[in-house]
Amino acid sequence: MRDEMVEVLLPEQQIQVRLDELGRQIRADYAGKELTVVAILTGTVMFAADLLRRIPGPLRLDYIGLSSYHGTTKSTGELVVTKSLKLDVRDRDVLLVDDILDTGQTLVKARQMMEALWPRTLKSCVFLEKEVPHVGNVSADYVGFKIPDKFVIGYGLDYQERYRNLPYLATLSLKTPAPKAP
């Protein structure tokens, strides 16, 4: 199989400008409050790091691991918890941060996990929201970008653990070689 990027959907500069806007909005919404950010591994690392730099003031950070792709380009529908939360979020203002809202299963599961820990408030922020129906019409409180239903890589998102380090977001075309003649 040969992988090739097809098109850059979001250049680095456009991502950074949108992060400035999200940071201002979140700062305003949580003014005077200590925020607890819970980022969902692994695709969220770059987005969370860049976003948190734009939210000055006291905050706490932890990660949970939830995975549903398992090396494929489509969600398997089966969520696996790969890392548990260490921080106590009881009576805290919690912001869940995820890379992409696709089927919605990850966000639903993460919210259920957080709600069971009794936070004072719980909101969510996603870097990307695919323009597809989501499980139970789940939505995020803060959305970086809405994108078409394409498989994307870069800025933390991967294909088989590759391409996360790209500073932009691109689509990936998976070409399969023609069958060999007998």
Angle between helices 45-52 and 12-29 (to 10 degrees): 60
> Amino acid identity, residue 143?
V
How far is Cα 73 from Cα 171, in angstroms, rounded to an integer? Answer: 11
DSSP 97: E
How far is Cα 50 from Cα 56, in angstroms, rounded to an integer? Answer: 12
Of 102, 141, 149, 158, the catalytic one is 102
Query: Catalytic: 88?
Result: no
Tens digit of each residue's pLDDT, the chain (182 residues): 345 778 999 999 999 999 999 999 999 999 999 999 999 998 999 999 999 999 988 899 999 998 765 555 555 567 888 888 999 999 999 999 999 999 999 999 999 999 999 999 999 999 999 999 998 889 999 999 999 999 999 999 999 889 999 999 999 887 644 444 44
pLDDT of 69-103, one tens digit each? Answer: 555 555 556 788 888 899 999 999 999 999 999 99
Domains recognised in the chain with CATH numbers: 13-148 (3.40.50.2020)
- Does this model's pTM top 0.85? My answer is yes
Q: Which residue has the tokens 């498989």?
A: 151
Q: What are phi and psi of 38, to 5 degrees?
A: -120, 110
Locate 156 and state its tokens: 């933390």
